[in-house]
Amino acid sequence: MTGGSDSLLMVWKDATEEKKMAAIEAREAMLLQEQQLNNLIHSDRLLDALGLALTLDRPFRVLNIIKG
């Protein structure tokens, strides 16, 4: 808690752990989507892979899928 000359008390919350957990969850979700993209490419489901690559904002992957 902090207080100022304006007679207001501020209650602060430490959100460090929450931010770390959110970053970890986002990274895990990205890795799962990358793995799904690789699986789609290897199973020759190129239209689905193209859609996922566009969603993931992977322009080089999109180019490779189109060339393939």
Residue-level pLDDT at 3: 81
> Is residue 9 in a domain?
no
d(CA 27, CA 29): 5
2 within some domain: no
Domain encompassing residue 25: 15-67
Tell me how many domains the chain contains. Answer: 1
The two tokens of residue 17 are 């752990």
The answer on pLDDT for 47 being more than 90 is yes
pLDDT digits (tens, 9 = 90+) for 12-43: 888 899 999 999 999 999 999 999 999 999 99
pLDDT score of 18: 93
The number of CA neighbours under 13 Å toward the Cβ of 65 is 23
**Contacts for 22-26: CB closer than 8 Å, 24+ residues apart:** none
The predicted pLDDT at position 4 comes to 79
